Amino acid sequence: MVMKNALYWILLSLLFLGIQDARRAYASPYATEVLSDNPVAYWRFEDTSGSTATDSAGSNHGTYNNVALGQASAAPALGTAAGFNGTSADVSVPALGVFADLSIEAWAYIDNFPGGWSSLYNTDGCAFPCAHWQFVNLDVPRFEWALAGSDWSNGFVFGGGSWYHIVTTYEQGTGVASLYVNGQFQEHLFVLSGLVTTQSLGRIGSWGGGGRFVDGLIDEVAVYGSALTASRVLAHYNAATVPEPVSLVFLGVGVIALGVLGRRRATPPSSSTASRLSS
């Protein structure tokens, strides 16, 4: 009996560790993938209170303005998202510098696409080429990256009420900017040459000077001083949607083992066993 009790508590401890490991599998792999690509800034929106939007990659912390924290994100691995009311909510972030190569990444859920623009990430009042990163709904919702003095939109049509993983990349050497949605390459948005500047203060969820507010949720905004490859974009997306197999194995084994032990403990002794115990 002592050995059975000891085994029971050992398995219970392993189950607890398995649960914790499973939680970490959902909580950390995505951030690990993002951080392995050395973002200049990475706002996860995991803050539970206060006005500071923590930069998980460094010290480029932002400020929440009328943002609802603690909202459900696209997947457990992403933790929580930030809610934007479409009229006054945004996150102000520091100037990040000038880049030869650039990638911008975020998860977005739009409740409603107004006519015109909804800005996911924007740099205030700088001369082109700037990082104006937004949805445009002039006929149907598409994505637009305003660079080189022109607004360039793609052919992918977005829908309200769905989460999207959006990544755009730009390489100065080739002059090519590319769009990825949900881990998949969609198209080249445009071709240009020159540096891209984010030297002005930035805004997440609005145009900055006013207007173009997002009505929905935004999460895991990352800015890189490099052009992510297609394989890295897909790795990021997969990390948000696929838990670590080993965690699920340990968790499953623990549940099964405890179930078996529980049934054994609940099974009444046979008549022969009972007679031996009473004698």
Over residues 131-136, the mean pLDDT reads 71
231 and 249 belong to one structural domain: no
What residues pair up with 152 in beta bridges, in sequence order? 145
Over residues 61-68, the mean pLDDT reads 98
What residues contact residue 266 under an 8 Å CB cut-off, 6+ apart? none
Least confident of 36-45, 52-61, 143-152, 159-168: 143-152
Strand (E) positions, the chain?
A: 41-43, 52-53, 62-65, 68-72, 80-85, 90-93, 97-99, 101-110, 116-123, 132-137, 141-147, 150-153, 163-171, 176-181, 184-191, 196-198, 202-204, 215-224
- List the domain range (segments joined by +) for residue 14: 2-23+244-278
Contact assessment for residue 34 and residue 236, using Cβ atoms and an 8 Å cutoff: yes
144 and 272 belong to one structural domain: no
Query: pLDDT (tens digit, 9 = 90+) per residue, 75-90?
Result: 999 999 999 999 999 9
| Number of domains the chain contains | 2
Cα–Cα distances in Å, from 203 out to 1, 56, 79, 147, 254? 64, 17, 22, 16, 46
Contact assessment for residue 243 and residue 30, using Cβ atoms and an 8 Å cutoff: no
Task: Tell me the pTM.
Answer: 0.76
Residue 32 lies in a domain: no
Half-sphere exposure of 140 (CA within 13 A, CB side): 6
6 and 101 belong to one structural domain: no
201 and 257 belong to one structural domain: no
265 and 194 belong to one structural domain: no
What is the percentage of the chain residues whose pLDDT exceeds 70?
A: 64
- Cβ neighbours, 10 Å, residue 139: 8
67 and 193 belong to one structural domain: yes
143 and 198 belong to one structural domain: yes
Inform me whether the pLDDT recorded for 23 exceeds 60: no
Name the residue type at position 167: V
For residue 5, give the H/E element and its range.
helix 2-27
What are residue 271's phi and psi, to 5 degrees? -65, -35
17 and 145 belong to one structural domain: no
Residue 251 lies in a domain: yes
Label residue 148 left, alpha or beta by phi (over 0 means left) and psi (-120 to 50 means alpha): left
CA distance 86 to 67: 10
Over residues 242-263, the mean pLDDT reads 48
93 and 131 belong to one structural domain: yes
109 and 164 belong to one structural domain: yes
9 and 115 belong to one structural domain: no
- Residue 180 is part of a domain; what is its CATH number? 2.60.120.200
Name the residue type at position 258: L
250 and 235 belong to one structural domain: no
Inform me whether the pLDDT recorded for 277 exceeds 70: no
Task: Identify the residue whose tokens are 């002794």.
Answer: 269
Residue 30 lies in a domain: no
